Structure 1
Amino acid sequence: MSDARVAKARELFREHFGRDCDGVSFAPGRVNLIGEHVDYNDGLVLPMPVAAGTAVAWAVHDDADTQVTAADFGEEDRFDPAKPAKPSNESWRSYVRGIAAQWGGDLPPMQLLITGDLPRGSGLSSSASLCIALGRAFVDATGDPVDATTLARRAQQTEHDFAGVACGIMDQMAAAAGEPGHAMLLDCRDLGYRQVAIPKDWAVLVVDSGVTRGLVDGEYNARRRQCEAAAAALGITSLRDASMDDLTAQDLPDPEARRARHVVGEIARVGEATAAIEQGDLQAFGRILSEGHASLRDQFEVSHPTVDALVERLQKMIGTQGGARMTGAGFGGSVVVVTSPDRAREIESEFSEASSRVA
């Protein structure tokens, strides 16, 4: 975390609460290079942390309630840390109370100030970043050690119980255990992972489409149910255990058949992409990204016309030097670009307000 972000969080805390904070915690957002909508299917994913994220300035205090300020929204909240209640409407408060609830009533009353530079709805997992940053503040406040995997599980449970999103655990693991300049090859079945260094002569950028991502009308949860139905029809626990031959033999109905084809193909692409990174094969990696975007658009149906147009425009700029695809759950958000430094500079110049370099 940069000194400037720490100083900003401390200053905002002092302005709001009239005292110095006890500490500042931070968690990054993430961009997923490949492996979309497979984490809740026990698949393999390849995310990496971004520089932007969420900072939480915190202090223990003598009041009975925990007091929270979301500085970037100009909003506040107050709740009993012994029994955080679920808000009536989903908002940033859902994540604060939800992650606090994972401590089972063992948190002291605290003052919390939240600030960050991750745009909401950009597909860079602002909710996971918020939960992990808060969790790290709670770990520091209580002095009880919590490892990265446990912290990620608590953040995922927050999404399930307080935000109503039946997400996998990729975002939370990337925020809790990712390393700058590295992709995380994560097995979402057993949560085993290893860091894969991005080649020094590659550049990774994120370009915001300008379409705020939303899990439209429960479509995210619907995709998960369709995947579960496909697995049940195949007689397996999850689509991680399926092959393309299995899908052909079973002749699943639509949309379950298309959802399953995406998942099985995407898991294979993660392995291919990891090999391309380790071999420094930028052209192969770009082809894999393009194939992944087409599958998300046509098989999983989670892209957006504006995002598709942006991917096409970026791919023309990149040529054979890498690739681009939508990243995140879909329905808007951002596009990830992996290319050469020269092409990256051209894109940054063309999309000066919407692009940011990751590696």
Structure 2
Amino acid sequence: MTDHFTACAPGRVNLIGEHTDYNGGMVLPAALSVGLEVTLAPRSDSAVAVTSNNYDAPAIRDLADDAVGDWADTCVGALREANALGLLDGGATLDVVSTIPEGSGLSSSAALIVAILKAARFANAGANAAPLTDIEIAIAARRVENQYMGVPCGIMDQMAVALATPGTAMALDTRALQYDLVALPDTHELIVVHSGLTRKLTDGRYGARKAECDAAKRYFGTEDLCLIDWEEAQNADLSEAPKKRTLHCISENLRVHTAISALQNRDIPALGQAMNESHVSMRDLFEMSLPPIDALVASATDLGAVGARLTGGGFGGCIVACIAKSERDTWLAKLLDRHPEARLIDAVSAAASGT
């Protein structure tokens, strides 16, 4: 009888700190109640057989397959990495049960890779080698996206889904891979609303922004755009797009620090202001928003949210808004009435996560 090994990983929402994780900065993600569960059965051959409730499944692939641009690449890449790490010796049969909307910007791919690697770690639990830590799992998961799937992402998503704790935000220094858990508000909720526009990290626009950041790194001679002096960047003889991306990274990193202090001091207005300023920067400097997203964010604040912003890689997906718990139901009903294409995904706070 084949052994089965099960692992879970949550989705994540990034409260603030967009595109800073591959530019030497801070991020502030939080775990969601939506997530996924993977059941893995090791195989003696090289086949990758996947069933799922939420993806275009079943899918039959092979460990030797190159990435082809579909969702099953995530499974193939994760199992290849599990073999490289010595956790498995061959393919696997996978069953994936997910409540994370695909293309939502809530790290469905990172959660799937992390869950597969954690299930493979369980499968290897009887081996003599020391088990991989969750941080090592996160680093390995990023390798899958960078090297196999060709997505030039940073480390935030993988760290958040591998290590985040419900009811807290992870104040993560992506340079040192050091983090503190900060309690979320108990008077307010952070509401995640899907815009109705799906996104895909492999569609080229995310990669284009990464390339513009890389051009700025070459100009300044550093990997840490977030730590450059604002005046130095403002006065640099640099083309418009890389300069704008740099200015976003610098200011966004400062906003993350502001948001962390705001959470620690229970200063909800300061948190909201940082979120609002973040969206303006993503729209005008990083140019990763879209008019329907901007309209949804504007409605969120117009209807009473303390702050709201696009979250995730951009070009679709979700917004996150901070709203008083006592006003949540009325606010949400008005928002969804004004934007019928939008839908509630989740809500997180100090007291509990989930809707």
Give yes or no for TM over 0.5: yes
CA shift in 2, pair 1:305/1:154, >3 Å: same
**What residue is the counterpart of 2:212 in the other structure?**
226
- Report if aligned partners of 1:228, 1:238 keep a CA contact under 8 Å in 2: no
Q: CA deviation at 1:214?
A: 2.7
Instruction: For 1:270, give the aligned amino acid.
Output: V
**What residue is the counterpart of 2:347 in the other structure?**
357
Q: CA deviation at 1:90?
A: 1.3
Instruction: For 2:188, give the aligned amino acid.
Output: W
Query: Does the alignment pair 1:98 with 2:81?
Result: no
Q: Secondary structure at the match of 2:30?
A: strand
Instruction: For 2:301, give the aligned amino acid.
Output: Q
**What residue is the counterpart of 2:353 in the other structure?**
none
Instruction: For 1:94, give the aligned amino acid.
Output: D
For 2:42 and 2:148, the matched residues in 1 are separated by 24
Instruction: For 1:305, give the aligned amino acid.
Output: P
Q: CA deviation at 1:77?
A: 3.5
Q: CA deviation at 1:43?
A: 0.7
Instruction: For 2:161, give the aligned amino acid.
Output: A
Q: 2:119 aligns with which of 124, 132, 137?
A: 137
For 2:14 and 2:98, the matched residues in 1 are separated by 20
For 1:68 and 1:201, the matched residues in 2 are separated by 42
**What residue is the counterpart of 1:186 in the other structure?**
172
What whole-Å deviation, never above 9, does each CA across 1:140-194 have from its counterpart, x for those lacking one?
1111621111111111111112221110010000000000010000011111111
TM-score by length of 1: 0.88
**What residue is the counterpart of 2:223 in the other structure?**
237
**What residue is the counterpart of 1:148 in the other structure?**
134
Q: 1:121 aligns with which of 86, 89, 103?
A: 103
**What residue is the counterpart of 1:6 in the other structure?**
none
TM-score by length of 2: 0.89
CA shift in 2, pair 1:222/1:66, >3 Å: closer
Query: Does the alignment pair 1:335 with 2:319?
Result: yes
Q: CA deviation at 1:217?
A: 4.2
For 1:64 and 1:126, the matched residues in 2 are separated by 25
Q: Which portions of structure 1, spanning 4 or more consecutive aligned residues, are displaced by more than 6 angstroms?
A: none
Q: How many residues align?
A: 336
Q: 1:176 aligns with which of 136, 157, 162?
A: 162
Instruction: For 2:316, give the aligned amino acid.
Output: G
For 2:25 and 2:65, the matched residues in 1 are separated by 31
For 1:164 and 1:336, the matched residues in 2 are separated by 27
Query: Does the alignment pair 1:110 with 2:98?
Result: no
**What residue is the counterpart of 1:51 in the other structure?**
33
Q: 1:76 aligns with which of 55, 58, 61?
A: 58
For 1:162 and 1:328, the matched residues in 2 are separated by 21
- Report if aligned partners of 2:150, 2:202 keep a CA contact under 8 Å in 1: no
* Residue identity (%): 37
For 2:107 and 2:21, the matched residues in 1 are separated by 14
What whole-Å deviation, never above 9, does each CA across 1:315-346 have from its counterpart, x for those lacking one?
01125xx2100000010100001121022222
Instruction: For 2:96, give the aligned amino acid.
Output: I
Structure 1's unaligned 5+ residue stretches are 1-18
For 2:221 and 2:44, the matched residues in 1 are separated by 55
**What residue is the counterpart of 1:199 in the other structure?**
185
Instruction: For 2:328, give the aligned amino acid.
Output: A
CA shift in 2, pair 1:253/1:342, >3 Å: same
- Report if aligned partners of 2:41, 2:94 keep a CA contact under 8 Å in 1: yes
